[in-house]
């Protein structure tokens, strides 16, 4: 059979005038969606196998199409494929090349499908793979966080509320807080995987098809649990895109929060952590400077993730059913957010591996701000049968006295304490020991050293 030499767009029979240069420039998406080549070929092979099984195309045509698609896959992977903006997108670029390879029988490939269901199928498969990659990188961050936490179970520091010294905690416990956040991030991505696990292939443009297709076969072949239920909803649905972008935004926010905190702690004013020279930069004018630029980069990139998420929400808010060209921007937004998050996770993992606690400074800071005051109030409730409010008032009076005398709570004598509460005994002095304060928090989820070790063991067992 003669090869198809036609270099016009597929719809040239109907659209008889060539598009303006400006329209071609804004109308094509090949520079963006060529990343979907693997998924597009995978979906097309499943589709033609189904067409053959349903006796819609012959064995010979099926084999020729699959041969051509495999050849195209090799050309793209070996960078020997010419992407042409004239054919708009990855789907038409592949189809036109297929015509060049096998001739007019390539025309059977688009039987019983549309680009509308084709692109969503490709995109869902891509997001499945991307999500697994993201979660693998989150796992690495969790592993590095746990490793750093293991080294700092008994590293004492002040926990902050309103960035003021609040109560004594373990630096290891602090790090495990972010393990919890990143674990939720993983679940958020996995929830989206479950929600999008329906195959769009076979709903065609918006109303389904009159061909006797088997959508269950293609769903299974492409790794989906089931086909979608409503053809109109299918081609217009981008909830799975929103869910992905939302999950990226929340994960980015978590990275930004810890980046912000580490920037503060690395500052000369706090000096609670040290960053290796591997993850800092210098100044062009100040020779002494070591700046936490990578952490600042992480904090800044969160804005881009938010922007992509809100862009998609804005695109969707005004769209009636079903498909519109507006939806073309979904892939660029997702690709950008995905690439940024992967990069940020890798950078953050590197920062964690090159971060250490300034244990001496942490302990010094923990010994300021009267952070065992709540322990004293709790002691008065437990040992002297006071209501918490009365104990709170007594403790506040003791704190006021300590400040007046320019002392820390642990520097007050029993004689001084008895002036506020005569019933106190020498036992109360143990309350002001920071280790005792931390280890008294034995309630589930509390900061006691034993709790932290148990939580670390639990997380390591689940990996």
Active site residues: 162, 283
Cα 218 to chain center, whole Å?
A: 29
User: Helix (H, G, I), strand (E, B), or coil: what is residue 281?
Assistant: strand
- Residue 129: CB atoms within 10 A of its CB come to 11
**Is 78 exposed, middle or buried (CB count within 10 Å of its CB: 0-12, 13-18, 19+)?**
exposed
> What is the Cα Rg of the chain in Å?
31
Per DSSP bridges, beta strands 156-161 and 164-170 are antiparallel
Q: What is the DSSP letter of 431?
A: G
d(CA 309, CA 201) in angstroms, rounded, equals 26
Nearest to 96 by CA among 196, 211, 5: 5
Cis peptide bond prior to 327, omega within 30° of 0: no
SS3 275: strand
**Six token digits for residue 406:** 């320019």
Please, what's the largest Cα pairwise distance for the chain?
106
What is the rounded distance in angstroms from the CA atom of residue 38 to the CA atom of residue 113? Answer: 18
Question: Residues 430, 436, 440, CA angle at the centre, nearest 5°?
Answer: 120
Tokens at 456, concatenated = 């670390």
Residues 6+ apart with CB under 8 A from 377: 388, 391, 392, 394, 395
3 state SS of 421 = coil
Q: Which token pair is 357?
A: 């606690």
Do you find a cis peptide bond into 214, omega within 30 degrees of 0? Answer: no
DSSP, residue by residue, 236-268: H--HHHHHHHHHHHHHHHHHHHHHHHHHHHHST
Which residues partner with 281 through β-bridges? Answer: 291
Residue 371, CA distances (Å) to 358, 367, 380, 410 in order: 19, 7, 16, 10
Terminal C-alpha separation, the chain: 56
Helices (runs of H) and strands (runs of E) counted in the chain? 18, 6
In this structure, the chain runs to a length of 463
Provide the strand spans (E) within 124-233. 156-161, 164-170, 198-199, 226-227
């Amino acid at each position: 059979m003669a090869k198809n030499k036609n270099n016009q767009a597929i719809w040239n029979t109907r659209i008889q005038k060539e598009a303006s240069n400006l329209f071609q420039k804004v109308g094509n998406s090949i520079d963006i969606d060529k990343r979907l080549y693997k998924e597009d070929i995978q979906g097309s092979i499943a589709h033609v196998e189904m067409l053959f099984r349903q006796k819609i195309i012959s064995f010979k045509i099926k084999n020729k199409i699959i041969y051509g698609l495999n050849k195209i896959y090799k050309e793209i992977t070996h960078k020997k494929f010419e992407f042409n903006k004239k054919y708009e997108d990855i789907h038409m670029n592949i189809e036109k090349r297929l015509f060049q390879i096998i001739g007019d029988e390539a025309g059977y490939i688009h039987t019983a499908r549309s680009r509308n269901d084709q692109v969503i199928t490709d995109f869902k498969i891509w997001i499945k793979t991307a999500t697994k990659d993201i979660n693998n990188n989150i796992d690495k961050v969790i592993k590095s966080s746990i490793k750093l936490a293991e080294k700092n179970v008994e590293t004492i520091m002040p926990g902050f509320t309103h960035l003021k010294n609040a109560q004594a905690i373990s630096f290891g416990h602090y790090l495990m807080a972010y393990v919890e956040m990143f674990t939720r991030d993983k679940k958020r991505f996995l929830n989206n995987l479950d929600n999008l696990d329906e195959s769009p292939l076979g709903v065609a443009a918006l109303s389904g098809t009159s061909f006797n297709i088997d959508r269950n076969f293609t769903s299974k072949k492409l790794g989906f649990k089931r086909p979608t239920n409503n053809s109109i909803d299918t081609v217009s649905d981008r909830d799975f895109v929103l869910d992905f972008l939302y999950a990226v935004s929340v994960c980015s926010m978590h990275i930004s929060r810890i980046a912000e905190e580490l920037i503060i702690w690395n500052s000369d004013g706090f000096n609670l952590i040290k960053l290796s020279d591997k993850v800092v930069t210098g100044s062009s004018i100040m020779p002494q400077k070591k700046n936490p630029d990578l952490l600042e980069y992480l904090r800044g990139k969160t804005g881009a993730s938010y922007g992509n998420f809100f862009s998609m929400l804005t695109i969707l808010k005004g769209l009636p059913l079903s498909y519109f060209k507006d939806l073309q921007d979904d892939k660029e937004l997702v690709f950008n957010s995905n690439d940024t998050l992967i990069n940020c996770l890798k950078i953050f993992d590197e920062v964690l591996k090159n971060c250490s606690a300034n244990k001496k400074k942490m302990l010094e800071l923990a010994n300021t701000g009267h952070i065992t005051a709540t322990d004293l109030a709790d002691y008065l409730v437990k040992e002297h049968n006071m209501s918490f409010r009365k104990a709170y008032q007594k403790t506040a009076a003791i704190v006021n006295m300590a400040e007046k005398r320019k002392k820390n709570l642990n520097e007050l004598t029993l004689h001084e304490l008895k002036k506020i509460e005569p019933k106190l005994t020498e036992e109360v002095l143990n309350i002001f020991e920071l280790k005792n304060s931390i280890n008294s928090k034995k309630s589930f989820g509390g900061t006691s050293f034993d709790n932290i070790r148990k939580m670390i063991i639990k997380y390591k067992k689940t990996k």
